[in-house]
Amino acid sequence: MLRRAPHFPPMASTALRLSLVPALSFSSSPPPPPPSQSRCISTPPPHHLLPPPLGGRKLRPVRPASPHPRLRLAGISASFSSQSSSGNGRELLVQHLLIKENDLNLLLELQQRISAGEDLSDLAVEHSICPSKEQGGMLGWVRMGQMVPEFEEAAFSAPMNKVVKCKTKFGWHLLQVLSEREGSVLQDIQPDELHAKMQDPNFLEEAQLVDVREPEEVAKASLPGFQVLPLRQFGSWGPEITTKLDTEKDTYVMCHHGMRSLQVAKWLQAQGFKRVFNLSGGIHEYAVKADPSIPTY
């Protein structure tokens, strides 16, 4: 029996992941911290892995130009640290549905319908009690350490494209691994380290440098080689980011103090960029610690 291709919605559920697409703040000053949210699968994130304070407009992942999950589909994956993804570096593209623990008759019915050829994403929209039902049960790319142990064990041992079941404290899950890839990296880079790199002409040719400050800020202070993509103009450049920039190249992101750039760096990682670096402290710290010829403001 022929089965149609899995449904790949444009974004992952904001209720299921340890770290998802962050809200991108349009202010350089830190607003109040975000309220706590209930999470269906993920364990509470360590404090140092939380995104910067939210409070601004939320930006959704861009629908990829290619539907192939290995090329462009991505959810937030690697943690923000100086190391690459934990575990063995694998990331899985996962979709699932969730039903109540005592709803065994429905569980059996859904398993039978899947065996008969129905798609898990369609059944998730119809029956799942998880907020990810709005995206056909799509969780995006996940890695070791993001999910509760039972779900994680089932996902990372499941055969590709085979629907398997597991039970967690939230209920029964039917999950499907759609694709696999090598984990991405999101790192902090110190001003003196970036300054040293920028002395090498080859660095400016090989790397992608992105300044997410507003034009009036760039007029006050700037660094050579940085492409200006103002955060307030996200609507114009965001949907075309994978055509403007190469997801395979090292990408460095800068703002005034390093908060907006960290949020954009996380978002770029969500779009499938393999190696993303955030300038710690932004151009201000760069001017203070690495190059005093750069004006501060």
Asked whether the beta carbons of 280 and 81 are under 8 A apart, the reply is no
Asked whether the beta carbons of 158 and 173 are under 8 A apart, the reply is no
Four-residue CA torsion sign, 65, 94, 138, 208: negative
A 10 A CB-CB count for 193 gives: 14
Active-site residue among 40, 130, 166, 255? 255
What is the SS3 assignment for 137-201?
Answer: CEEEEEECCCECHHHHHHHHHCCCCCEEEEEECCEEEEEEEEEEEECCEEEEECHHHHHHHHCCH
Active site residue 255: yes
A 10 A CB-CB count for 57 gives: 13
Residue located via tokens 């509470």:
44
d(CA 253, CA 239): 18
- Give the distance between the most distant pair of CA atoms in the chain: 70
| Phi and psi torsions of 143, nearest 5° | -135, 175
Written as one letter, the residue type at 27 is S
Q: Name the strand (E) or helix (H) holding 284.
A: helix 282-289
Q: Is 282 left (phi over 0), alpha (psi -120 to 50) or beta?
A: left
Written as one letter, the residue type at 245 is L
Residues serving a catalytic function are 255
